[in-house]
Structure 1
Amino acid sequence: MLQRLLLAGMLSGLLVALLSFGFARVFFEPTVERAIVLEEQTDSDHGHAGKEAVSRATQRNLGLLTGIGSYCVALGGMLAIGLGCLHGRLGLGPRSIVWTLASLGYVSLVLVPQLKYPANPPGVGSAETIGSRTELYFLLVLLSLALMAVSFWIGVRIRRSHGSVFSVPVGTLAFASMATLLVSAFPDISGVPSDFPDSLLFTFRAQSAMLQLIVWGGLGAIFGQLAKRILDPRISRASAYVGFPNA
């Protein structure tokens, strides 16, 4: 059963990757291109112009598709493993569990870290601090995920002892409180130049957020439906009756 869920999760990731690539290629890449033009102009003014290691044609086509595809397939596999571990233990259907995992994953892995360190376009941030900024970001991601796991465990314990009425509010409050303390404990890093266009920065961050919503929301919708077909016994029996595979 887990193998079928993994296959369905990775297939869902491929489908979402194609959708996300289309959005990124049409809307996101032109914004990145504008930021790169500004970066090249600044480098040229300071005499730091250099040759690209990978051409922009490769970056915005094969490179973009490969990156998004790997990301989405990996997330689909992780959702499948999570569903396999939780199915039958929460009193929820497969689709509800997938949507729950996708929502919690988005909040902990994307929303909380980017509230502290939002996505920046090319040309924003000092090259000397890129190592420390990257380390801080991934540390925040890991700690946010750990806090979400603790909050989820608290919610499950409350659900078992006091019912589902209190489990969601208590779990949400626990994560919100711990995440607020976590974010406030990390140092502020402002690498946005004063002359960088505000409209371009806003557009880049808004499109980055929309791309992540497409990824996580698409996985919740597509994989949730496939998982229901695999794990719902009524659908499985009906599929077998008419001669169709239930995967």
Structure 2
Amino acid sequence: MSTPTFGSTLARGALAGVLAGLAGAAVQYFLTEVPLEAALAVEEARPADPGAAEHHGELFDRGTQLLGGLLATVVFGLAIGAVFAVVYARLRHRLPGRADFDRALLLGGVGFLVVSLLPGLKYPANPPGVGDPSTVEERTLLYLAVIVAGLVLANLAPWFNRFLAGKGWDRSTRLAVTGLSTVVLLALVVFLLPANNDPIPADIPSTLLWQFRLYSLIQLATVWTVLAAAFGLLLDRQQRTAEAPALVA
């Protein structure tokens, strides 16, 4: 089986990223936008702060903001697709699986777990009007700390698996011990890092808050799923096309 070139892998990653961004934009438009609009309505209904500076209105209307958000999701998909392709090109020989589609799905699952699900569970997304603006920098650093810790553990897991293999452990036991150890360490990361103590305003319904958080995770899961599946299918198709002349010969 031939190894795809870096250029072809990067091009397919970018294309898969655009498709993933379009899928994420669709979820944003039909799902995430519903609680987002409700949160904006609550925020606008709040009485004006007398000590605040004079309000000059929004620079862009809501329709323009929505279009910009959808385009940003597509651009995000393109960027993450390119990064995904670079990581895949470097790790392809180390990823288990009989085909590129299997390997791509595995890498996509790890990416979603480390980059989206783990930090999303510890510091879930909040709609507009929730969160103290003065703590944005602190919350951003903590969010990045969860991602870094997850990436470190994701890289340690294969090393630990190979270490156990060198000790003569059988494959099923190695996978069970490695998986359990990784889950325990991830749980410790979530438990030990400080929580976000920003108060939830009383005028934000709990159903709206959790609906926004759930839809945000669904949007991210959609992006990662479409990215991994499209990337794997594109690579498999390239592989079959490259091998066809040899089979005919």
Q: Which residue of 1 aligns with 2:26?
A: 22
Unaligned ranges ≥5, structure 2: none
- Residue 87 to residue 141, structure 1, CA distance change in 2 (3 Å): closer
From 202, 206, 212, give the equivalent of 2:220.
212
Q: Distance in 2 between matches of 1:198 and 1:239?
A: 60
Task: State, as a whole percentage, how many aligned pairs show the same letter.
Answer: 30
Q: Which residue of 1 aligns with 2:16?
A: 12
Q: Distance in 2 between matches of 1:91 and 1:27?
A: 35
Contact 1:83 1:94 in 2 (8 A): no
- Residue 240 to residue 122, structure 1, CA distance change in 2 (3 Å): farther
- Residue 166 to residue 225, structure 1, CA distance change in 2 (3 Å): farther
Q: Distance in 1 between matches of 2:101 and 2:177?
A: 23
Q: Which residue of 1 aligns with 2:72?
A: 67
Q: Which structure is richer in relative contact order (CA contacts within 8 A, separation 6 or more)? A: 2
- Residue 25 to residue 91, structure 1, CA distance change in 2 (3 Å): closer
Paired amino acid for 2:139: R
SS in 2 for 1:3: helix
Aligned length: 238
Task: Give 1:216 deviation, angstroms.
Answer: 0.6
Paired amino acid for 2:49: H
Q: Which residue of 2 aligns with 1:229?
A: 237
Task: Give 1:33 deviation, angstroms.
Answer: 1.3
Does residue 80 (structure 1) correspond to residue 85 (structure 2)? The answer is yes
TM-score (normalised: structure 2):
0.86
Q: CA RMSD for the aligned pairs?
A: 2.3
Q: Distance in 1 between matches of 2:162 and 2:84?
A: 18
Which string of whole-angstrom CA distances, capped at 9 and with x for unpartnered residues, describes residues 86-111 of structure 1? 23344522111111111111111111
Q: Distance in 1 between matches of 2:162 and 2:88?
A: 15
From 93, 104, 111, give the equivalent of 2:117.
111
Paired amino acid for 1:121: P
Q: Distance in 2 between matches of 1:184 and 1:210?
A: 23
Which moved further from structure 2: 194-203 or 90-99? 90-99
1:58-207 correspondence runs (5 A): 58-61=64-67, 63-92=68-97, 93-158=99-164, 162-191=169-198, 192-207=200-215
Contact 2:28 2:70 in 1 (8 A): no
SS in 2 for 1:187: coil
Contact 2:43 2:129 in 1 (8 A): yes
TM-score (normalised: structure 1):
0.86
SS in 1 for 2:93: coil
SS in 2 for 1:109: helix
SS in 2 for 1:88: helix
Q: Distance in 2 between matches of 1:109 and 1:77?
A: 15
- Residue 5 to residue 147, structure 1, CA distance change in 2 (3 Å): same
Task: Give 1:67 deviation, angstroms.
Answer: 1.8
Unaligned ranges ≥5, structure 1: 243-247
Which string of whole-angstrom CA distances, capped at 9 and with x for unpartnered residues, describes residues 12-59 of structure 1? 1111111211221122123211101111222x3434573224432222
